[in-house]
């Protein structure tokens, strides 16, 4: 017990402030999440594609891109003209002007004009940034650098326009930025200088979280042993300590298990395939799912055919089970530019052939081709209450279809029926991760998710107790260090 107490004491001195910070910033994150611009918001604010400006067919655009490692092709409108956005397998996105070929990089004046579509009138010349605090995530890597356009509005809005593609991919306000400095940025240990290097950030936070997990575990075990030792000596009470040490012991006994599960689940947030499986399909499965290359999917599509697809804010060209389709996004449905339509390439000029989702039979054929070895043993639509796709902080679209495979890992594959995209794969390992991370870390359980303010109240009470326990540890650490210094 002496050795255990020594380790807990000195590990606690090193990380007690980190514990207190995590609980305090966790409360902020309940109310102010990290800024983001969803795909639906981006498309709704984009301009309709001016199809009359097209001079290149999709096939010609792929040739103009000059790359063979292409996995996605979209057509968008930008400043009164159209351009193809070609996404490569490494995540990089190239722009091809629909009139002339490879597009030039945007200048600051063009970025300012694009911002006007988002209701942002600039107060200064847009600034070019490679990485900053609000675009530090690796999902932005393929579109860097950005113009940051600062708005002349009361909200302090800033938007980020990709220099090479012209897409608006991030939007923040001064309210979000201010609170995130004392919320997500601290909680995730997210300073730009560290987070821009994913591997360094990943290793730092993983090991730091592991040290904190060991600290919490030794403290919880030690607290129980201290109480049992008191009982064996036939002494009354629960704690043998006095003052702050007694409060720390009692708080540890009553809230230590919650603290331990939070630190454990927070550590799991940095798993990234270390202990649990990843949720991405293999490259071969993805290729088999599409059943044809993009070059084959767009072969033969003419400008006249595309000209019949007026009104969309984005077109995407895909293949599914070898069948070419076009996805129309941002169709004005009367309640906003949020509609999605899919149409087979063979029936592009037939408006009656458009549907809101891809046919079930086509999706099933694609899944059977991609996972022929495991076999597809079931197909179902997810519900609004589905525990694995309708998470509190990471919801899949309600157009999601689940395929159950017959492999030993009992894998599920989730596919968006409105786009044909594989959203994720979840085997038994990944489904266990859902409960151990999402469930324990954010109380993401179906009953609590439907309980309204009860979830919020439980989170705040638990965070307050954890913060109090951490503060008691900080006080004890100061006393110990002062005592050591006096000696």
Alpha helices in 167-237 (DSSP H): 174-181, 184-187, 192-195, 198-232
Angle at 26 between CA 21 and CA 28, to 5 degrees: 105
| pLDDT value of residue 235 | 67
Q: Which two tokens stand for residue 258?
A: 């919650």
Q: 């050591």: which residue's tokens?
A: 484
Identify the H or E element spanning 267: helix 243-268
User: How remote is the C-alpha of 423 from its chain's centroid?
Assistant: 12
Pairing outcome for strands 422-426 and 412-416: antiparallel
Q: Which two tokens stand for residue 456?
A: 């919020």
| Share of the chain residues as helix, strand and coil, in percent rounded to the nearest 5 | 45, 20, 35
Tell me how far apart the alpha carbons of residues 75 and 327 are, in angstroms, rounded to a whole number.
10
Tell me how far apart the alpha carbons of residues 49 and 30 are, in angstroms, rounded to a whole number.
38
| pLDDT value of residue 457 | 96
Q: CB-based contacts of 216: which residues, under 8 Å, 6+ apart?
A: 19, 256, 259, 260, 263
Q: Euclidean distance between the first and final Cα of the chain, in Å?
A: 24
Tell me how far apart the alpha carbons of residues 323 and 334 are, in angstroms, rounded to a whole number.
31
Q: What is the CA radius of gyration of the chain?
A: 27
Work out the burial of residue 240: count CB atoms within 10 Å of its CB; fewer than 13 is exposed, 13-18 middle, 19 or more buried: middle
DSSP 151: B
- pTM greater than 0.85: yes
Q: Which two tokens stand for residue 287?
A: 């290729």
Domain ranges of the chain: 2-32+193-266+453-486
Beta bridge partners of 127: 148
Residues in the chain: 487
| pLDDT value of residue 275 | 96
User: How remote is the C-alpha of 6 from its chain's centroid?
Assistant: 40
Q: CB-based contacts of 479: which residues, under 8 Å, 6+ apart?
A: 244
| pLDDT value of residue 335 | 45
| pLDDT value of residue 233 | 66
Q: Which residues of the chain have pLDDT under 70?
A: 231-237, 333-338, 484-487
């Amino acid at each position: 017990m002496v050795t255990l107490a020594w380790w807990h004491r000195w590990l606690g001195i090193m990380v007690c402030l980190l514990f207190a910070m995590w609980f305090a910033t966790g409360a902020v994150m309940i109310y102010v999440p990290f800024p983001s611009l969803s795909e639906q918001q981006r498309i709704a604010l984009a301009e309709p594609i001016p199809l009359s400006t097209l001079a290149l067919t999709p096939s010609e655009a792929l040739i103009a891109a000059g790359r063979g490692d292409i996995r996605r092709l979209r057509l968008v409108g930008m400043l009164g003209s159209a351009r193809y956005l070609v996404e490569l397998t490494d995540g990089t996105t190239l722009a091809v002007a629909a009139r002339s070929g490879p597009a030039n990089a945007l200048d600051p004046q063009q970025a300012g004009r694009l911002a006007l579509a988002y209701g942002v009138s600039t107060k200064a010349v847009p600034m070019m940034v490679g990485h900053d605090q609000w675009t530090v995530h690796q999902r932005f890597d393929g579109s860097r650098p950005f113009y940051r356009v600062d708005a002349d509005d009361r909200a302090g809005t800033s938007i980020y326009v990709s220099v090479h593609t012209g897409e608006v991919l991030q939007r923040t306000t001064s309210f979000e930025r201010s609170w995130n400095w004392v919320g997500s940025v601290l909680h995730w240990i997210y300073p730009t200088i560290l987070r821009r290097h994913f591997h360094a950030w990943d290793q730092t936070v993983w090991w730091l979280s592991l040290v904190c997990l060991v600290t919490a575990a030794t403290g919880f075990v030690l607290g129980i042993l201290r109480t049992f030792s008191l009982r064996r000596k036939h002494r009354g009470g629960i704690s043998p300590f006095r003052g702050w040490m007694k409060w720390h012991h009692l708080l540890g006994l009553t809230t230590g298990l919650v603290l331990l599960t939070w630190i454990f689940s927070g550590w799991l947030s940095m798993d990234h395939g270390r202990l649990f499986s990843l949720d991405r399909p293999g490259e071969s499965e993805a290729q088999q799912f599409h059943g044809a290359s993009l070059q084959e999917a767009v072969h033969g599509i003419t400008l006249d055919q595309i000209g019949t697809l007026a009104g969309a804010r984005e077109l995407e060209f895909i293949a599914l089970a070898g069948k070419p389709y076009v996805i129309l996004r941002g169709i004005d449905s009367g309640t906003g530019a949020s509609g999605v339509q899919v149409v087979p390439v063979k029936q592009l000029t037939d408006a009656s052939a458009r549907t809101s989702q891809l046919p079930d039979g086509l999706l099933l054929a694609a899944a059977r081709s991609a996972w022929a070895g495991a076999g597809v043993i079931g197909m179902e639509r997810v519900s609004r209450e589905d525990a694995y796709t309708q998470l509190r902080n990471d919801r899949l679209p309600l157009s999601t279809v689940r395929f159950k495979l017959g492999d030993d890992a009992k894998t599920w594959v989730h596919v968006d029926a409105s786009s044909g995209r594989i959203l994720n794969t979840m085997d038994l390992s990944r489904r266990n991760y859902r409960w151990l991370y999402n469930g324990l870390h954010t109380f993401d359980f179906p009953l609590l998710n439907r309980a309204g303010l009860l979830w919020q109240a439980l989170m705040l009470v638990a965070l307050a107790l954890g913060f109090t326990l951490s503060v008691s540890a900080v006080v004890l650490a100061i006393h110990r260090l002062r005592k050591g210094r006096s000696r």
